[in-house]
Structure formats: C-alpha cells, structure tokens
Amino acid sequence: MPMNPRIAERHAFARPDTDTSGAVHIDDDLIRDTSLPTAALIGRLLIAAIFLVSGIAKLTDTPGTVAHMAEMGIPYPNTLALIAGTAEVLGAIAIATGFLARVASAGLILYMIPTTLIFHAFWNYTGEEHMTQMVNFMKNLAIIGGLAVLMAQGPGRFSIDHRIRRARAHRRARHEV
C-alpha cells in the first residue's frame, strides 16, 4: 500500500523516477506542497505556551526567581532573572506569531541548554527528587527538539515570516518583469 504523501517524508515522494534509458519521469501528484500549516501553527502555539507562562512567572515573582537562582549558585541573579523572563516572553511571542521564529528558536535553544543542565541536573539527586528532575530534564530535551525542528523547517504558512517572504518574492517578481 503506498504511503500518503500528506504525511510521508516530502523527499521520498519528490524524488524523480528514472527508467533504464535514463529519462526522468515525475508524477505531478506527488510533487506538491506536503506541509501542514495548521499543524505547524498549533505546534508553535504549544511550544510558545510554556515559555510565555514561565517568563511571566519569572517577571511577576522576580524575588522568588532570584532566590531560586541564588540557591543554585547563579551569579547576578537579580539581573539574570529579568533577562531570563524577558527572553522567554519575547521568544514565546516570536514563535507564536512566526516572526523571526528561526532566530527565536535558536536563542531559546541556547537559553535552554545551560538552564536544563543547571536546574535539572538529576544526577545530583537521589530518591523521588532524582525522578522528578530526570522527567524535567527529558521534558526540556523534548522542547529543545521541537525548537530544533522549528528552526530547521521554519514556522510554516500561517506566520509573519511567511507573509514577509511572500511579499518580498512578489516585489522581486514585479521588478524582473
């Protein structure tokens, strides 16, 4: 049974077939846009949600965030708490709207690596806390994976980035004519 090209890897269906004479045959039905823009939008919103909630929590309870950061040995916790909260809120907005989504994804990945290693170092714990921190560590790895996919694939059709690219392409096309 052939795979549905709407859910299969794009490259598997976009590869032209060649016969023994070397002629290339391309099935036009298989070379169509297989992106799922609604799924991309939902994914972006779900990834953005955790950063928005976390960033707002850091900014509305800065003393609590500062205390937790100081407890973990973070230098300059007052300044870094504000920077972390702001970065999370701005990153969430960028990802949700699809404006500079690849840049925001890269920035949030760079932010998540040290925070995951410092705040969820499960190997430093025993008992129930070990499992809690390991789950949070793995959750953060999954979020980093989602951000990496977003960075690689882009935000999709329902995004500001897409509208900007499309407008630039139309302007270029008009100037070439």
Confidence of residue 15 (pLDDT cuts 50, 70, 90): very low
Average pLDDT along the chain: 87
pTM: 0.78
The bridge status of strand 24-25 relative to strand 17-18 is antiparallel
Q: Average pLDDT of 125-152?
A: 96
Domain ranges of the chain: 36-176
Write out pLDDT tens, residues 140-167. Answer: 999 999 999 999 999 999 999 999 999 9
Stretch among 12-21, 51-60, 76-85, 154-163 having the lowest mean pLDDT = 12-21
Beta bridge partners of 167: none
Question: Dihedral angle at the C-alpha atoms of 62, 67, 71, 73, nearest 10 degrees?
Answer: 50
Name the amino acid, one letter, at 160.
Answer: I
Percent of the chain with pLDDT over 70: 80
